[in-house]
Amino acid sequence: MELALSQAQANGKVSLHGRRAVVLVVTLILCVLSYQLNASMISPALPDIAKSLHVDVSAVSRVSSLFFLAGSIGGVVLSRWSDFIGRRRSLVVVILILAVGTLLCIFSPNLTVLLLGRVLQGASSAAFQLSYVILNEGLSQKVFGTVLGVLTAVNGGVGGFDGYVGGLLSDHYGFRSIFVVILILAAIALLCVMLVVPKDNKATATAGKMDWWGAAALSLGLICLTYFVSDGSSAGWVAPITLLYLVGTLLFFVAFWFVEKNISTPMIAVHHLRSRQVWPVIATTILTLTGVFSVINFTVVLLSQDQKVGFGLNAAQSGLMFLTPAALIGVVAAPLSGWIAGKWSWTKLLRVGMVLCILDLMTIALVPHSKWAVFALVAILGITYNGFVLTTANGLGVLQSPAEAPAALPGLNGAAFGIGAGLGIGLVAPLVGKGTLGGYTTALWISVGITVLAFVATLFIKPKQVQVQ
């Protein structure tokens, strides 16, 4: 099968059908699950991590924020690198990095080692971007949207049951048992990649060399930006350390801009970054994840386990009630959204989803004390957020990418997912950490405001003409 695929790829884009397409899709699902479970299964275990490692909830939030920060960097660098070294090689590298990070998490004696492992795990987010590009290159456009929706559904985990299982494992065996499960899955995914994904074809690789200087400048800029926001919300926006991160952010982004203008094979050409086909997609993704992700995977999870002002649930109950329903609904909603977007319009469906998310989050912020109201509203986000918004954001990241750098925008958009998730948690963590109803409510309204800005960003997206059907 590999030989046939490689020969076909040498002549241009391949359109797989039948068993070969199914086997490839299943393999890619295993790859992205190896990454995603590190987010969805860990969320209910955050209180246990804090207790086991003797740190407070505010400190343990870095288990998630650093994970997504590393994801933003690994996703953009490793996916763009795949244009030069091939998709399969990049997938192998990604899964090996994940395995090393997971081993560190299993045997971590303290928070520092655990955070190092989480950084390595986060870098494996490139599995998503690589999978999207492989699908676009290997499947017809008629089925691309639907299958992309399937992988987007995996972004919420295994129908949400992974959050419940993560809670059970944490309650009965401790948080380390979660990483053991992830390591086993990563080993299976690696084996499947070696057997199923076609060997890299040098004839289809991008000419030139990887822009490592641009990658370094962008990565450092993303790091400074993340810490500027997180330190600003906790230490104060005019604190010396906060201002230092702001200066670093500006300097590294300016350096990235100049590097991209003066290199033959940039991470992404400057004229593309200025285009309404690119920058609004990235802005929309960052703001959406900053606004919505932190509500589902941080604020509501901790509120549900708060014994004083929250709902007093344990980790397993929290995962089952507030993570599973939205993810399970998303399993159906995401593929359907991909199909609708392909038939109708990717940008219009994105805007509809954003408006519905805003209305949903506003209602949650009005009734955070009502367990069943919050339960129902988070479940609805399975349609509006996991379905409409995430599917179309991922699809636009692939479809709007420059022809000469097919993995460039998927990588940058993946970075936007990671940086947005990390920024969202960093912004609300000090408020949520207060453990008061007022703190939770303020955090929710901040998320609402950011989501409104995300909708505004969608209005600037200009679809590529080739995508108009």
Label each residue of 78-125 as H, E or C: HHHHHHHHCHHHHHHHHHHHHHHHHHHHHCCCCHHHHHHHHHHHHHCC
CB–CB of 409/401 below 8 Å? yes
Q: Does residue 2 fall inside a structural domain?
A: no
* Claim to verify: residue 404 and residue 364 sit in the same structural domain: yes
Asked whether residue 9 is assigned to any structural domain, the reply reads no
Identify the pLDDT of residue 11.
Answer: 38
pLDDT of res. 209: 85
One domain, residues 232 and 188 = no
Considering the domain architecture, whether residues 143 and 278 belong to the same structural domain is answered as yes
Of 418, 387, 468, the residue nearest 148 (C-alpha): 387
- 126 & 235 share domain: no
Nearest to 156 by CA among 319, 317, 397, 287: 319
- Asked if 225 and 277 sit in the same domain, the reply is no
Residues 285 and 383 in one domain: yes
Q: Decide: helix, strand or coil at residue 160.
A: coil
Classify residue 35: in a domain, yes or no: yes
- As for how many domains the chain has, the answer is 2
Spatial separation of the C-alpha atoms in residues 30 and 26, rounded to whole Å: 6
Are both 410 and 312 inside the same structural domain?
A: yes
Q: What is the DSSP letter of 344?
A: S
| pTM of this structure | 0.77
Residue whose structure tokens are 């993995």: 407
Is residue 11 domain-resident?
A: no
CATH number (domain holding residue 267): 1.20.1250.20
Q: Please give the average pLDDT of every successive group of 10 residues along the chain, which has 469 residues.
A: 37 58 85 85 80 77 80 86 87 93 90 89 88 80 80 67 77 86 92 83 67 91 82 76 92 93 86 89 94 90 89 82 84 89 91 97 94 94 92 90 82 80 81 88 95 96 64
Phi, psi of 119 (to 5 degrees): -60, -45
* Whole-number Cα distances in Å, 276 to 157, 262, 342, 457: 32, 22, 20, 10
Res 18: pLDDT: 64
Give the separation between CA 376 and CA 162, rounded to whole angstroms.
Answer: 19
Q: Clarify whether residues 370 and 437 are in a common domain.
A: yes
Residue 394 lies in a domain: yes
Taking the mean position of all CA atoms in its chain, how far away is CA 96?
19
CA angle 349, 163, 179 (to 5 degrees): 120
For residue 5, tell me if it sits in a domain: no
Q: Are residues 242 and 109 in the same domain?
A: no
Say how far apart CA 10 and CA 8 lie, in whole Å: 5
In a domain, 8, yes or no: no
Q: For the stretch 177-194, what's the b/e string if a residue is b when 16 or more beta carbons lie within 10 angstroms of its beta carbon?
A: bbbebbbebbeebbebbe
How far is 418 from 414, CA to CA, in rounded Å? 6
State which residues form the domain around 94: 16-198+206-211+263-467
pLDDT of residue 250: 95
Two structure tokens written together for 132: 């999207």
Q: Are residues 287 and 390 in the same domain?
A: yes
User: DSSP characters for 268-333?
Assistant: S-HHHHTSTTTHHHHHHHHHHIIIIIHIIIIIHHHHHH-SSSS----HHHHHHHHTHHHHHHHHHH
Do the domain assignments include residue 312? Answer: yes
Q: Are residues 278 and 360 in the same domain?
A: yes
250 and 299 assigned to the same domain: no
